[in-house]
Amino acid sequence: MEHVVLLDDAGRAIGTEPKATVHTTVTPLHLAFSAYVFDREGNVLITRRALGKTTWPGVWTNSCCGHPAPDEPLEQAVRRRMIEELGIDTDDVSLVLPSFRYRAVMDSGIVENEICPVFRVLYNGPRPSPDPSEVESFEWIDWQDFLSRGLSGDREMSPWCREQVQQLRRLGRDPLRWPTAPAAALPPAAREGSQLDGSLS
């Protein structure tokens, strides 16, 4: 059974909860990540979430999201999740937004509540082969086109992606030249795996 890492307001790990039950109308703050995959021309891989997803099914979003397992380094979790969700593997993973945090509520009342560092991933391999239980469809799109569509509201996007692109655009027009952030800027729970205090719940 997969578990997510629960956090206090300062980003310190305080326990775990099964991933299958953590998302409710009172979802506790927990650790996650988002990844934006780019090819060598600067196109971004965007995905439409599978229709069976608990949160925001069928909406367009960034390339990949996930939750690190307890004591799993974030970069390792990003690579693992890209293989599981997108069928791609690369070790070119860079931290760009170390402390992104958001809370969003679906019409049904289900809540997402995450500290969610954001990574840029460079990929030049074979065509992705997504897991259909995670990804309904995908496309490569020019980054500037994606920004204009997402920020204008022309395409329904996940709330976290909409907030992230507002911050990512400040890093510069060329995503291949974005500055990277130091690991020291990550929340405490993410700096060296989760490093949970006390026993796991």
Sign of the C-alpha dihedral computed for residues 73, 81, 49 and 43 taken in this order: positive
CB neighbours of residue 114 within 10 Å: 23
Task: Please report, as a single letter, which amino acid is at residue 22.
Answer: V
What's the maximum distance between 2 C-alpha atoms anywhere in the chain?
47
Q: 64 an active-site residue?
A: no
Q: 161 an active-site residue?
A: no
Query: End-to-end CA distance of the chain, in Å?
Result: 13
In sequence order, which residues have a C-beta less than 8 Å from that of residue 70 and are 6 or more positions away? 3, 5, 13, 16, 193, 194, 196, 200
Pick the catalytic residue from 75, 112, 114, 134.
114
In sequence order, which residues have a C-beta less than 8 Å from that of residue 184 and are 6 or more positions away? 191
Pick the catalytic residue from 65, 75, 85, 112.
65
- Annotated catalytic residues are 65, 114
